Structure 1
Amino acid sequence: MKLSTRGQYGTRALLELALHQGERPVLLRDIAQRQQISLQYLEHLISPLIAGGMVRSSRGARGGVSLARTPEDIRLSEVVHLLEGSVAPVKCVDNPETCVRSELCVTRDVWGEMKQAIDGVLESTTLKDLVERQKKKEHPEAGMYYI
């Protein structure tokens, strides 16, 4: 399974919004600049995130985008499934009827296990988790003690 830029950039855009949760709405151009994403591509990605109930948009002088839910309520599984679809590495894992050998195929079993593992990681990771990881990367010395 390989994430496309839709999944990668969409997740990074949501992370940026989570980092600024509770502040005024964020302009798309600011997200694009900070995350090094094309503004045009970001504009294309925001629509499904709004439709999926993860982002809200506000117009006007203080307009922009913000998270529609709290960072702890948005799981990466929801983001990836919305932007990418299934994380199955091959079609027959989700749709066994697409392959006449699906009942006998041992490799399909392995691909199914792979999908379950990916789903498990994505389901157990929230935007809040990403915010915490980001803060640790920005300030790695915060967890160190000196004598």
Structure 2
Amino acid sequence: MKIATKTRYAMRVMIDLAARVDEGCVPLKDVADRQGISKKYLEQVVSPLVSSGLLNVTRGHRGGYKLTRTPSEITCADIVSATENGLELLDCLSGDITCERESFCISQDIWGGLERAMTDYLKSITLQDILDREEEDGLKLQRRILGEEA
């Protein structure tokens, strides 16, 4: 099981924008330059984030992208769900389709448990949590570089 490249890039874009939440609209070109990803590809990456209501886009001079909520209100689950079209691991777990084996499927509980654990984990991490962790890790690294005790 792999997370799609677009989902990984979407996470990077959202973290980048969360770190610049006070700047207002951030041009996608600036994000692309910082992240080392082509602007053209990032346009595809941000599309589902806009459609799902996680990002606002403003066109024109001084335009760009910004979060629709604070970093503490956007979870990793929100981002993955927007880019992966939901968090369901299997169609039979979504409840949208019926499976002829549903009443006696012995593996459904395993996949359902994995899905719940993954969803709960992704819901437990906000963009703010990531920024806070990054700041803490950066301070630890800075102390090591300077030869100070952590």
Q: What residue identity is the alignment partner of 1:112?
A: G
- Give SS of 1:106's match: coil
Aligned residues: percent identity? 34
Per-residue CA deviations over 1:114-135 (Å, capped at 9, x if unaligned) read 0000000111111111112222
CA contact (8 A) 2:75 2:127 kept: yes
Q: Hey, what's the Cα distance between the residues in 1 that align with 2:88 and 2:57?
A: 32
- Which deviates the most, 6-15 or 113-122? 6-15
- Give SS of 2:9's match: helix
Query: Shift in Å at residue 91 of structure 1?
Result: 2.0
Within 5 Å, give how 1:90-105 maps onto structure 2.
Answer: 90-95=90-95, 97-105=97-105
Question: What 5-or-longer segments of structure 2 have no aligned partner?
Answer: none
Q: Compared with structure 1, are the counterparts of its residues 113 and 57 closer, same or farther at alpha carbon in structure 2 (3 Å cutoff)?
A: same
Question: What 5-or-longer segments of structure 1 have no aligned partner?
Answer: none
Per-residue CA deviations over 1:34-86 (Å, capped at 9, x if unaligned) read 22222112111222222322212223432221112110111111111111023
Within 5 Å, give how 1:71-82 maps onto structure 2.
Answer: 71-82=71-82
State the 4+ residue runs in structure 1 displaced beyond 4 angstroms.
142-145
Q: Hey, what's the Cα distance between the residues in 2 that align with 1:122 and 1:10?
A: 14
1:7 aligns with 2:7: yes
Residue 117 of structure 1: aligned partner? 117
Q: Compared with structure 1, are the counterparts of its residues 123 and 143 closer, same or farther at alpha carbon in structure 2 (3 Å cutoff)?
A: farther
RMSD across aligned positions (CA) = 2.3
Q: Hey, what's the Cα distance between the residues in 1 that align with 2:79 and 2:24?
A: 23
- Give SS of 2:57's match: strand
Q: What residue identity is the alignment partner of 1:55?
A: L
Q: What residue identity is the alignment partner of 1:28?
A: L
Q: Hey, what's the Cα distance between the residues in 2 that align with 1:69 and 1:107?
A: 38
- Give SS of 2:21's match: coil
- Which deviates the most, 92-101 or 104-113? 92-101
- Give the structure-1-normalised TM-score: 0.85
CA contact (8 A) 1:56 1:68 kept: yes
Q: Hey, what's the Cα distance between the residues in 1 that align with 2:35 and 2:103?
A: 44
